[in-house]
Structures are given as C-alpha cells and as structure tokens.
Structure 1
Amino acid sequence: MTVQNSAIAQRSIAIAALAPRRGVLLAALGVAAFSLTFPSTVWGLESFGVWSLVSLRSTLAALIAGGFLLALRVRLPERRHWASLAVVGAGVVVGFPLLTTLALETSTSAHAAVVVGLLPLTTAVLAALRTGRRPSRAFWLAAVAGAAVVIVFTVAESGGSLRRGDLYLLGALLVCAAGYTEGGRLAREMPGWQVIGWALLLCLPLALAGTAAALSVEPVELTARGVTGLVWVAAGSTFFGLYVWYRGMAEIGIPRASQLQLAQPLLTLVWSVALLGERLSPAAPLAAAGVLVCIAVTQRARS
C-alpha cells in the first residue's frame, strides 16, 4: 500500500510539474488562433457588412459551443457564475469583435494588430485590480517595456496621430481585457471551454436578432475568401482560440498568460503580409525582437 501511495504521489507531482508548460502551450495556441482574427475579418468584410459579419460570427460560434455542451450533457452553471459569464460575453463575444470590425473598415490589419498589442498590459492591470494579486516588479517592468515598444511602433506607423479606427481599437482593448480577466478567473472553477461556451450561448438571442436585422439591410456577396474569413473568426478565433486561451490562463495565471499576447501583433503582421499583401515597415523586425525579449522576461518573473 505504501509503494502504491508513493507511486500515486510521484505521478501527481509529475503532473503538477507539467501543468505550467501545458498552460503556456495552451495559451500560445490561443494567441496563434487570435493572430489570424484581423486578416480573417478583412476577408469576411469582402462578403458581409460589419454588423452582419459580427452577428454571424457570434451566432455560428454559439451553435458550435451549444452542440458540444449538449452532446456532453454539461449542467447549467451555478447562479453565482452568470454575472461573470455576462462580463465575458459582453467583452469578448460582442464588444471586441464589433469594435475591431468597425476599426478595420478604415485601418489596415497590420495597424490594428500593433494597437491591440497593448492588450497584455491592460489585461494584467485589470487582473491585478480584480484578483488582488500583485506580480513582481520585474514582471511589471518587462510588461511596461513591451507595451512601450508597441506604443512607439504604433505612433511611428500612424504618423504621430490617432485615427477614428484607433479609438475603436482602444475601446476594444478595455472591453476585451475585462472579458479575459473575468473569464480567466472563472476558468479556475469550471473548464475553460465551458466558460466561453456558456458566454456564447448567453449572447445567442442577441446574435440571432442582430443577424436577422443586419442581413435584411446589408448586402451579401459570397466569395471563397469572405466565407473562409467568417468560418475562421467563428470557429477558430471565437471558439477554439478562447477555449485554449482560458484553459491556459487557468493554469499559469492571467498576468503571465496575457504577456504571451505581446507576440500576437507580430504574428498578425506576418499574416497581413502573407494573406492580405500588406507591406511591413523596416521597424517591424526591431519591434519583434524587443517584444520577444519582454515575453521571455515576464515568463521567468515570479509573483
């Protein structure tokens, strides 16, 4: 019995030791999925109007999530969780997709990517306020340095002035950071995919109403790229991306996971060139190097 208990204890220790690595991997997969969101949205706008694309995105993602929840016979969340799910839904299901899609009407995918690069710092600040945790000084110095790199890059690219699209993006930062923070906290009490699944279903009535209204007034011209863009932002970014992202945050903590998103704008720049034919400035490689250094520091810093 003693040998058996010892084996179980050793196995538990091994699993616990792998959890941080697994959490980093899951969060990184989420970042990779998110990095395709802006280019996919630009593709989607070739076939759909802003309101149609946002509503259809939420509707399709909610139907996917609902199918999983129904197939696995997942119980309804406890009453105390619904307020948090509403925050997640308002931030990452409705607010962020709507505001970023409006921004992409006038901004390039590359420009939007570097502005949204401020999301990790915004998320870390809100997480500290919401959870009461205080990351180390080294963590904050690296996070601020990474944000500074993104800010300098953004200002240089925009000619030193903010445009209307930038205001939409700044609003998207705030609502998304709030949704990430609340979702990451909630993912410690229920599986991450259930967090985004129930948040999507909570927003489904609004998404269905928005879809019906938008499709009645906005023209639709179906193209292969437009449909592909819609499918990815619904299934890839909204469902799969948020599923692995919330699982990763639950295992390694909101502040550390959020710093992995410093790589997201750089990945989006790559996709913007490869998929949209946008041109990168000479400053992009320098920004990439600076941000990656900051990510390495934040992953080593302890709370």
Structure 2
Amino acid sequence: MPSNTRNIPLGYALGLFGVVIFGGTLPATVLALPSFGPLFIASSRAAAAALIAVLVLVVRRRRLDRRDLGSVFVAGLMVTFGFPALSSLAMQTVDASHGGVVLGILPLATAAFAVLLTGERPGTAFWLWSIAGAVLVTWFVLGQNNDGEPGFESGDFWLVAAALSAAFGYVVMGRLSDRMPGWEVICWALVLTAPLNFALTAWLWEDRYLDPQPVAALALGYHALFSMFLGFFFWNAGLALGGIARIGQVQLLQVFVTVALSAALLDETITARTVLFAAAVAATVWLGRKARAA
C-alpha cells in the first residue's frame, strides 16, 4: 500500500481492537466449557461465522480464483478449526492466563513459518531469539502446573499444537492477502471449511446444549462473532492501514490482554511469575521480529 494512503493512528487503533478481541478468546473458552464440549465450541463457532461470511461475500459480489482453493482450505482448517479445537482442549486442564503466556510465542512461530515457507533467510540473531522464546515458554510450563507441581499438563501440549496450527494458517493467509483483501481471505476460509464444521457440529450435538448457562451461551456467541470473524476484520484492516511490520508489533500486547481478562472475568490469581514470564516472552518476540526485519 502506498504510504500516502496509510493512516497509521487508525491502523494502530484497529490493530489494538483486533488484539483485544483475540485476547479474550481463551477466557471466553473457559466460560463456555461448563455447557459445551471443547470440540463443539470449535466447530459450532466456525459454522456460525460461516453464515455471516456467506452473506458478506454475496453482498460484496466476490468470487474466488480456482488457483487459491487449496491454500484457502488449508488455511481454513488451521485457523477455523485447528486452533479453536486445540486451544479449547487445552482450557480443560490449564488456566487461561497460563495459556496466554504459552501462546505469547505465536507471533515468533508465525515468523518462523514465514521463513520456512517463503525461503527468507534471516540472520543468526532471529534464530537465537526464537530459541530463547521457546526456552522461556518451556521453563514457564515446567515450573508449575495447575496442581502446584512442576511439569507439563496435557493442556500445554494442546497449546503448543494450537500455536503451530495458528502460525501456519496465518502465514498461508498472509500469502493469500497478496491477491485479495484480508477480510475476504477469512470469509472464504470459513465458507470452504463450512461443510466440515457443520458436519462436526451435527455429529457432536448433545441435547443438553439446548439449555446452556447464559454466560456460556454468550461466550460461545463471542467466539463466533468476534474471535472467528470480526477480530480478523479489525486486525487485517489495521495491518493494511499502518503496515504489517509496524502494526504487527501490537500483537505483543495479546498475552497481557489475556492475562488481564483472565483475572477480571475468571477471578484467576495472576502471580508475579506469570507477569514476568509474559513480559519476557513478549520481549523475545519483539527482538526476534526486529532481528528478522533487519
């Protein structure tokens, strides 16, 4: 995008709004779990968002190039089901604030996948900061689990898998955004994976889902409308207005948003250790991205 068409302050505002939306995903998952199964949360939120996506694409009269079908479908699997399903499974055994710190490595994982898929060759500093970030996350999850004992919870493995799924999907979507707007990419991703998500939603259906806790129903609605749909609109629009390198740094705040919302909405106890590791992980991501850009 030419510099004279950019609106950097608005880009930051939209990017921050997107980060706040994404930062609420893990706490919303915890609120939804008492009434809905983890895999049902993942498939139903994508199925509901797909209905909105179809409407947007029809109104905007958009068509998808056949050459992009495979890439869009793969990105959709990673982003509309892979990450939601894996992170929902994780929230059964770990706190949302804990998950926020582990997923704090997501921006650096995204950068690493970009390097692998695009053939870019960043310097040694990038890989050193990447390793440092991975070590910090490992140290954090080994230090103390939800039972107060050192060691991995099963949720930690789900979180790592969720981060890898999202990172891969983000890179594929980023490459597709060279040929179409970011909002259109997520809409097509939702539409192409809709048959799978509708089928899974029907297969996973239980009669008890007709009488959910009000808070759980609202949390599931948040997933569908915000985490799975509008969040990408704000985030992608912010990147377009302010530039990917500049606005992308806002994503470093996501871990702190998740930790803060976990304390406010879930009454989770946020220890000094959690805050320190969140800050350290964010620092390695920032330094790694800076090294990659250099």
Calculate the TM-score normalised by the size of structure 2: 0.86
Deviation at 1:242, TM superposition (A): 2.1
Q: Is the 8 A contact 2:76 2:193 kept in 1?
A: yes
Match of 1:180 in 2: 170
Residue 161 of structure 1 and its aligned partner are, at CA, apart by 1.4
Instruction: Decide which of 222, 231, 234 is 1:244's aligned counterpart.
Output: 234
Cα deviations across residues 270-292 of structure 1 (Å, max 9, x unaligned)? 11110011111121332344345
Q: Any idea what SS the aligned residue of 2:280 has?
A: helix
- Work out whether 1:34 is the aligned partner of 2:25: no
Which residue of the partner structure matches residue 8 of structure 1?
Answer: none
Worse-superposed segment, 176-185 or 282-291:
282-291
**Counterpart for residue 65 of structure 1:** 53
Matching residue's letter, 1:176: A
Task: Pick closer, same or farther for the CA change 1:152–1:138 going to 2, 3 Å.
Answer: same
The one-letter amino acid of 2:243's match is: I
Tell me, yes or no, if structure 1 residue 222 matches structure 2 residue 209. no
Structure 1 residue ranges without an equivalent (≥5): 1-11
Displacement after TM superposition at 1:26 (Å): 4.0
Letter in 1 for 2:72: L
C-alpha distance in 1, partners of 2:182/2:255? 24
1:149, CA displacement in angstroms?
4.0
Instruction: Tell me what 1:88 maps to.
Output: 75
1:249 to partner: Cα distance? 5.0
Q: Which deviations, in whole Å up to 9, do the C-alpha atoms of 1:89-129 show, x marking residues without a partner? A: 11010111111111112222122222222212211110011
Structure 2 residue aligned with 1:283: 273
Q: Could you tell me which amino acid in structure 1 is paired with residue 199 of structure 2?
A: A
Question: Deviation of residue 72 (structure 1)?
Answer: 1.8
From the superposition, tell whether residues 178 and 115 of structure 1 become closer, same or farther in structure 2 (CA, over 3 Å): same
**What residue number does 1:133 align with?**
120
User: 78, 83, 86: which is aligned to 2:65?
Assistant: 78
Q: Which amino acid aligns with 1:68?
A: V
- Tell me the alpha carbon deviations over residues 160-209 of structure 1, each in whole angstroms, 9 at most, x when there is no partner: 41121112112112211110110111112101111000000111111111
From the superposition, tell whether residues 133 and 51 of structure 1 become closer, same or farther in structure 2 (CA, over 3 Å).
same
Determine the C-alpha separation between the residues in 2 that align with 1:80 and 1:137.
35
- Matches of 1:139 and 1:263, distance apart in 2: 20
Is 2:101 aligned against 1:110? no
**Partner amino acid for 1:273?**
A
- Counting matched residue pairs gives 288
Q: Percent identity?
A: 38
1:68 CA drift (Å): 1.1
1:5-20 correspondence runs (5 A): 13-16=3-6, 18=7
Q: Judge which range, 177-186 or 39-48, deviates more.
A: 39-48
Q: 1:165 to 1:298 in 2, by over 3 A?
A: closer
TM-score by length of 1: 0.83
8 A Cα contact 1:184 1:246, kept in partner: no
Whether the 8 Å contact between 1:192 and 1:244 is mirrored in structure 2 is no
Shift of 1:157: 3.4
The answer to whether structure 1 residue 192 and structure 2 residue 179 are counterparts is no
CA RMSD in angstroms comes to 2.7
Counterpart Cα distance in 2 of 1:135 and 1:31: 26
Counterpart contact for 2:143–2:150, Cα < 8 Å: yes
1:99 and 1:168 in contact (8 A); partners too? yes
Aligned equivalents of 2:121, 2:24: Cα separation in 1: 32
**Other structure's SS at 2:193 match:** helix
CA contact 1:49–1:219 (8 Å) conserved in 2: no
Aligned equivalents of 1:31 and 1:137: distance in 2? 29
CA–CA separation in structure 1 for the residues paired with 2:217 and 2:155:
24
Deviation at 1:33, TM superposition (A): 1.1
1:157 partnered with 2:172 = no
The offset of 1:226, in angstroms, is 0.7
Distance 2:250 2:136 in 1: 15
